[in-house]
């Protein structure tokens, strides 16, 4: 089964996320913000983020794409209970 995907461009877009999945979405959104800060450092607040494409797939990894849409930085996050099997 393919994961449901959501494009987040505005705060209203979060209302489309099922209530029982909103916490997971917000956690992944936080990871995306931290990745953005890591990638752009002190200039992060000046680099516009157009949208977040969230897949409800249980994978908390976030990949930053360059201006050509190519990945240049990936952050992998594993829950301890998942990592410890």
pLDDT in tens, 51-72: 778 889 888 877 777 767 777 7
For residue 78, the enclosing domain spans: 5-83
Q: Is 37 exposed, middle or buried (0-12, 13-18, 19+ CB in 10 A)?
A: middle
Q: Give the number of domains in the chain.
A: 1
Q: How confident is the model at residue 3 (pLDDT cuts 50, 70, 90)?
A: confident
pLDDT at 39 > cutoff 90: no
pLDDT at 57: 86
């Amino acid at each position: 089964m393919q994961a449901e995907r959501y494009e987040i461009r505005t705060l209203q877009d979060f209302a489309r996320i099922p209530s029982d999945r909103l916490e997971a979405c917000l956690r992944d959104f936080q990871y995306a913000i931290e990745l953005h800060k890591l990638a752009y450092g002190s200039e992060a607040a000046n680099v516009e983020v157009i949208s977040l494409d969230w897949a409800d797939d249980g994978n908390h990894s976030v990949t930053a794409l360059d201006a050509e849409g190519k990945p240049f930085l990936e952050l992998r996050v594993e829950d301890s209970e998942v990592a410890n099997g």
